[in-house]
Amino acid sequence: MASIQRRAADLVFDNLHERIVSGALAPGDRVDPTEIAEELGVSRTPVREAILRLDSEGLVNRLPYRGVVVTGIDLRVAEEIAALRIHMETLATRLAVPRLRDSDLVTMREANERLSEAVRGEHPQRSFNELNRRFHMTLYERADSTVLLRTIENLSSQAERIRMHFDLTHSPAHQHHEVILDACERRDPDAAAAATRDHILAIHCLLKPDGYRIEPGSPLAVVLATAGLKLPDGSPALAEAGTDADR
C-alpha cells in the first residue's frame, strides 16, 4: 500500500510541477487539494505529500486563509538561486569535463542546435527549458555526484519557473552554450567552468528589471568575488568594512 501511495504522490508531484514550470499555474494561483485529487483520480493523501514536496522546493506557499498558492518571483530569491547555481554548476563542470565522452558532446551539440529554432515554436518556454536542461544535465551527470546533481536539478527547476515569465525569443543562451561546448570539446575544465559562470550571470541580469544591481556583500556578489570578479557595473563585489564610527 505504501509503495502505491508513493507512486501516486510522485504522479501528482510531476503533474503539478509541470503545470507550474510551464506557466499553466501562474504565481498567485490557488492549488486546491480536493480539486486536484478529483481531477487526477487519487485520494487527498498523495496530493498533500506532493504539495509538501513542492513547498520544500519553493514552488508553492501554504498561506493562512488562502491555502496553497503558487509562489511569485522574488528578486532576492532569484539572485540567491543564481549565486547557488554558479557555485554548484561550476563545480559540476570542473568535475565533469575530464570524464566527458564523445557521445555526450554530440548530445549537447544537438540540443543546442535545436534551441534557437525551438524558442520560435508553439511552446517556446517549455521547449527552451527541455533543451536547455538536456544540454546542461548531459554535462553535469558526468560529475558522478548524486547529491550535487540533485541540488542542481532543484535549483534548475526554480530557475526554469522564473524564466517562464519572460520572452526567450532573443535569448543569448545558444551563443553562451557554444562557448561552453567549445571548452568541453577542448577538455578544458577551467574554461568550461568560467563560461558556465558567465552564462548563468548574464541570463540572470538579462531577466531582471531596469535599474537592477547586485548589491556588494550579497550572496551573488560574494560568489563573484570568490572568482576574482567585480560586479557587472564595475563596483567591488564585497562590501567595504565600516569605519570605527560605524561600529
Give me the DSSP letters along 151-171.
HHHHHHHHHHHHHTTS--TT-
Percent of the chain clearing pLDDT 90 (strictly above): 51
pLDDT digits (tens, 9 = 90+) for 118-136: 877 666 777 888 899 999 9
| Residue 58: predicted pLDDT | 77
pLDDT-based confidence at 4, cuts 50/70/90?
Answer: low
DSSP state of 82: H
| Mean of pLDDT values over 170-178 | 91
CA 188 to chain centre: 24
Q: Given pLDDT bands bounded at 50, 70 and 90, which one contains residue 207?
A: confident
CA distance 111 to 131: 5
Banded model confidence at residue 209, pLDDT cuts 50, 70, 90:
confident
d(CA 85, CA 92): 10
